[in-house]
Amino acid sequence: MEQQLPDKSNGLLLITGNDDKKIEIKDLNIYNHYHYIPSQIQQAADGNLIMPYMNNKEVGLMKIKLD
């Protein structure tokens, strides 16, 4: 999901459910020059999330900690 922030920069929202069956929303700090691919998010063995990104000829992964 992409979020338009007031200062015209882009951000991402992480929406999850907790053990109490309540929705939790968390703003993710991102580098706005990368193109993130949220549809390809994977869960790592440690429970955190891994999301791929692209920028020109560069491809990488961003780790999202679920604190």
Q: Where are the domains of the chain?
A: 2-64
Query: For residues 43 and 49, is the Cβ–Cβ distance under 8 A?
Result: yes
* Tokens, residue 22: 């309540």
CB 25 within 8 A of CB 40: no
On whether the CB atoms of residues 51 and 64 are closer than 8 A, the answer is: yes
pLDDT in tens, 8-61: 556 677 777 878 888 888 877 777 778 888 889 899 988 889 999 998 888 999
Predicted local confidence at residue 42, as pLDDT: 92
Q: pTM here?
A: 0.63
